[in-house]
Structure 1
Amino acid sequence: MKTDILRARLLEAQLDLAHRREQSVILLLTGHAVTHKGRLVNELNHWLENRHTEVHALGPSSEERERPYWWRFWRRIPDRGRIGIFIHGWYGDALFARAERRLSSGAFRDRLAEIRAFEAELAAEGVVLLKLWMDIDRSTQRRQLQALQKDPVRGWQLNDTDWQRHLQHAAIGALGREMREATAADHAPWRRLDFRDPADQLQRVGALLRETLVAPPDAPSVVPGVVPDVASSAPSIRLADSRSKAALEKEPYAEQLAEAQGRLAINAREAARRRIPVVLAFEGIDAAGKGGSIHRITAALDARQYRVHRIAAPSDEELALPWAWRFWRRLPADGRIAIFDRSWYGRVLVERVEELAPEAAWRRAYGEIREFERQLLVHGTVLCKLFLSISHEEQLRRFEARAAKPHKRHKLTEEDWRNRERWDDYREAIDEMFARTEAPGAEWALIACDDKRQARLRVLESVNQRLEARLVSPI
């Protein structure tokens, strides 16, 4: 196909993608040094409409190093209708770190498993992946490096890393084969491109991208999850396990509250000093008192250290991206605290019960949630998951009390009454959530909340215990 015809058809396919907004596309290029990756992307960018294209070729920033590894890639996922182009992307770190022996063989395999899970989740959410391995034999690579070194116009592009990659050519080639074999899938195929003249290579890449753009979209739900959807092997809690204690009088409550908040203030300052990130995830039955409990926590904290994220129905921007994106982007930097009033568990609770997500999607979410939380723990995050429970009778009493008070009526909605009618359905979903998302470091704290004072003290105690368990470590 002639260049001008291919260019016109590629642009037509891109504009159709932008108009339909059914899916996004990621083009990822990695491989050997001096295979024209940067030049290819620059030329391809001229062919495409820039308003619908994003190019990413940066190393991790200091901001990105203060968050879990995958945060920097999640925040750059293109929304529906757009193309994201990544040079090396999530493969470069693992490939070159292993070639330089900064990553052990076991850690390399672990990273490849994480990549498989990441790409499966993207594909299931409507992201189409095209991955290109740029190949070159060692002698041709050496000639290219020598020619570039002598070129007065383009010589500045050459650096010591390029020569280092040349010395590692055999290792990078072998690791590249292992990497491609471990991460190739129907939803994330690899294409290997031998080194060619830049103009010819641009034709090949442009044709592959157009082929990807015009292919009919697959149903996202058919993509298999990488993390098995299995119940926890450890004994799980059940909603019926919550038992309210006798009501606590005001005076002893005030004393215990002050003590617990003072303890939290000390723990939070020490976590900040040691640059430990903290994530608190609040879930619970309507009217159980999440807001009041969160207020008692934040009253003990420095306002500069925390942020409360109140999760409601997704915005238009969030609907255009994979569902987990809005939680990844809100993760705290090291030494900070993120408090989620509702969380990623909405997918297996309200979205399940109200049929807002297909069954395949919420069932797949158990494994995705476990992997998400595992990434938090690997980064060193203190994760505290709290579920606030009340009895059916106490919920009715609180609903009626809200309805009777003008300054609290806004808290009661038709959705609250509708959710109450599906009490048994929610109870089943909650118990399954407990069973399938318990893991070491990511256990649930089930808080009985018929008595608000007792509940708030238990919430503070749960958070303090989780922080103190981490702070006893010298790391």
Structure 2
Amino acid sequence: MKEEALRYRLLDAQLSLAREKERAVILLLSGHAVTHKGVVVNRLNHWLENRHTEVHALGPSSEEQSRPYWWRYWRRVPDRGRLGIFIHGWYGDALFARAERRLSPGAFQDRLAEIRAFEAELAAEGVVVLKLWTDIGRREQRRHLEELQLDPARAWQVGPNEWQRHTQHAVIEAIGRTLRDDTEAPHAPWRRLPFRAPGEQLTRVARSLLSVMECPPEPPATTLSTLSEEAPGIPSLRRVSAAVHEPIDKAAYRERLAHGQARLANNARELARRRIPVVIAFEGHDAAGKGGGIHRVTAALDARQYRVYRIGAPSDEELALPWGWRFWRRLPADGRIALFDRSWYGRVLVERVEGLASEAQWQRAYGEIRHFEQQLLKHGGVMIKLFLAIDKEEQLKRFEARAATPHKRHKLTDDDWRNRERWDDYQRAIDEMFARTHAPGAEWSLIACDDKRRARLAVLEGVNERLEARLASAV
């Protein structure tokens, strides 16, 4: 295919991608140094409609270093209809960190597993990932470095870093082979890009990009969880304590509430001092008291330290991106607290029960959720998950009370009544959620909320216990 015909065919494919908005495309170039990656990307960007293209060559910023590793890439995932080009990207991070022994062999393998999970999630959400490894022999690389240094117009491209990569050529070649072998997948293929003149490389890149735009690979199959619903330690609505407690009088409640909030305030200050991030997810039955629980927690906190996110139906912007994007972007910086009034668990609860997500989507979500939470824990954060439960009779009483109270009527919606009609379906979905997402460091706390005062105290106690355990482990 002649260059001009290739160029216009590629442009036409990109404009179709932008018009249809069914998927996004990521082109990632990694590999050896001084292999024309920058030159090729600049020329490719000139071929394309750059209003639909985003180019990223990243060095970690202080903002990115204060959040889990994958946050920096999730926030740059292109919208459906757009093309994202990454020079090195997540592969360069792993490749050079291992070459410089900043990643141990075990940590390197862990990173490759994270890459596989990340790319599988992207592919399942309609993001096509094409990966190109730029190849060059050691002698040819040295000759090219020397030529660049002797050319006044191009000498700026060569510095100590490029020479260091040259001395590491054999190491990078070996690590790169492992990296490619362990992350090759039908939905995220690797292709080799031999060192040639920039024009020839551009042609190869354009052809590879055109092939995945016109014939995108199939998304990966859903992987189901193997956790048992009866595993020990996993909460279950079938095992909610039925013990009857004497009501707490108002004076005793206020005293215990003040004590729990003072304790929380001290814990939060220490978390901020040690720069430990915290995520608190509130889930529960409608009218169980999530808002009241969140209010009692935030009343103890400095308003500058926390954010509350109420998760409802996704916006148009969020619908144009992979499902996990809107949760990754809300992760708190080090020392901050994010509270979620409903959360990513909506996919395996309301979206599942109401048919808003396909079975493949909600089944896949269990693994995606575990990976998401593990990344926060790996970063050193605290993950607190609270499920506030009430029985069906108590829920009806609260619905009727809301309907009869003018300043509370806004809390009761048609959705609440419809959800109540599917009570048994929700109960099954909730217990399966516990079974498949209860994990070390991300355990569920199931709180009986028929008694509002006891429930609010239990929320504070549950949060304080988890924060104090984290602070003790960090000493």
| TM-score normalised per structure 2 | 0.97
Q: How many residues align?
A: 472
| Number of the residue aligned with 2:61 | 61
| Number of the residue aligned with 2:166 | 166
| Number of the residue aligned with 1:193 | 193
Which structure 2 residues correspond to residues 19-418 of structure 1 after superposition, within 5 A?
19-215=19-215, 218=218, 220=219, 223-225=220-222, 228-231=225-228, 234-243=232-241, 245-418=245-418
| Number of the residue aligned with 2:453 | 453
Contact 2:186–2:217, Cα closer than 8 Å, also in 1: no
**CA distance change for structure 1 residues 101 and 112 in 2, over 3 Å: closer, same or farther?**
same
Q: How far is the alpha carbon of 1:101 from its aligned partner?
A: 1.3
Q: How far is the alpha carbon of 1:235 from its aligned partner?
A: 3.2
Contact 2:287–2:399, Cα closer than 8 Å, also in 1: yes
**CA distance change for structure 1 residues 33 and 225 in 2, over 3 Å: closer, same or farther?**
farther
Find the aligned partners of 1:320 and 1:446 in 2 and give their Cα distance. 34
Q: How far is the alpha carbon of 1:240 from its aligned partner?
A: 2.7
Find the aligned partners of 1:62 and 1:229 in 2 and give their Cα distance. 38
Find the aligned partners of 2:127 and 2:237 in 1 and give their Cα distance. 36
Moved more, 14-23 or 465-474: 465-474
**CA distance change for structure 1 residues 225 and 100 in 2, over 3 Å: closer, same or farther?**
farther
Q: How far is the alpha carbon of 1:52 from its aligned partner?
A: 0.6
Which structure 2 residues correspond to residues 412-427 of structure 1 after superposition, within 5 A?
412-427=412-427
Contact 2:223–2:363, Cα closer than 8 Å, also in 1: no
Contact 1:231–1:437, Cα closer than 8 Å, also in 2: no
Contact 2:26–2:130, Cα closer than 8 Å, also in 1: yes
**CA distance change for structure 1 residues 231 and 147 in 2, over 3 Å: closer, same or farther?**
farther
Contact 2:222–2:363, Cα closer than 8 Å, also in 1: no
Unaligned residue ranges in structure 1 (runs of 5+): none
**CA distance change for structure 1 residues 386 and 206 in 2, over 3 Å: closer, same or farther?**
same
Runs of 4+ in 1 over 3 A off after TM superposition: 225-235, 243-246
Contact 1:116–1:226, Cα closer than 8 Å, also in 2: no
Q: How far is the alpha carbon of 1:377 from its aligned partner?
A: 0.6
What code does the residue aligned with 2:63 have? E
Q: How far is the alpha carbon of 1:217 from its aligned partner?
A: 6.6
Contact 1:225–1:367, Cα closer than 8 Å, also in 2: no
Q: 2:29 is paired with a residue of what secondary structure?
A: strand
Find the aligned partners of 1:112 and 1:213 in 2 and give their Cα distance. 26
Contact 1:246–1:451, Cα closer than 8 Å, also in 2: no
Q: How far is the alpha carbon of 1:58 from its aligned partner?
A: 1.2
Q: How far is the alpha carbon of 1:157 from its aligned partner?
A: 1.6
Find the aligned partners of 1:470 and 1:266 in 2 and give their Cα distance. 14
Find the aligned partners of 1:426 and 1:160 in 2 and give their Cα distance. 60
Find the aligned partners of 1:5 and 1:432 in 2 and give their Cα distance. 54
Find the aligned partners of 2:359 and 2:467 in 1 and give their Cα distance. 36
Q: 2:282 is paired with a residue of what secondary structure?
A: strand
What code does the residue aligned with 1:41 have? V
Q: How far is the alpha carbon of 1:226 from its aligned partner?
A: 6.4
Contact 2:64–2:71, Cα closer than 8 Å, also in 1: yes
Contact 1:28–1:87, Cα closer than 8 Å, also in 2: yes
Q: How far is the alpha carbon of 1:225 from its aligned partner?
A: 4.9
Q: 2:406 is paired with a residue of what secondary structure?
A: coil
Find the aligned partners of 2:251 and 2:234 in 1 and give their Cα distance. 35
Q: How far is the alpha carbon of 1:177 from its aligned partner?
A: 0.7
Q: 1:407 is paired with a residue of what secondary structure?
A: helix
Q: How far is the alpha carbon of 1:234 from its aligned partner?
A: 4.2
Find the aligned partners of 1:235 and 1:270 in 2 and give their Cα distance. 29
| Number of the residue aligned with 2:443 | 443
| Number of the residue aligned with 1:468 | 468
Q: 1:14 is paired with a residue of what secondary structure?
A: helix
What code does the residue aligned with 1:193 have? L
Q: 1:408 is paired with a residue of what secondary structure?
A: helix
Q: 1:44 is paired with a residue of what secondary structure?
A: helix
Find the aligned partners of 2:101 and 2:339 in 1 and give their Cα distance. 38
Q: How far is the alpha carbon of 1:7 from its aligned partner?
A: 1.0
What code does the residue aligned with 1:207 have? R
Find the aligned partners of 2:160 and 2:102 in 1 and give their Cα distance. 18
Q: How far is the alpha carbon of 1:241 from its aligned partner?
A: 2.6
Contact 2:222–2:360, Cα closer than 8 Å, also in 1: no
Contact 2:311–2:343, Cα closer than 8 Å, also in 1: yes
| Number of the residue aligned with 1:18 | 18
Find the aligned partners of 2:51 and 2:292 in 1 and give their Cα distance. 44
Contact 1:121–1:225, Cα closer than 8 Å, also in 2: no
| TM-score normalised per structure 1 | 0.97
What code does the residue aligned with 1:418 have? R
Contact 1:117–1:227, Cα closer than 8 Å, also in 2: no
What code does the residue aligned with 1:105 have? P
Find the aligned partners of 2:446 and 2:466 in 1 and give their Cα distance. 14
CA RMSD in angstroms comes to: 1.3
Find the aligned partners of 2:317 and 2:334 in 1 and give their Cα distance. 26
Contact 2:67–2:331, Cα closer than 8 Å, also in 1: yes
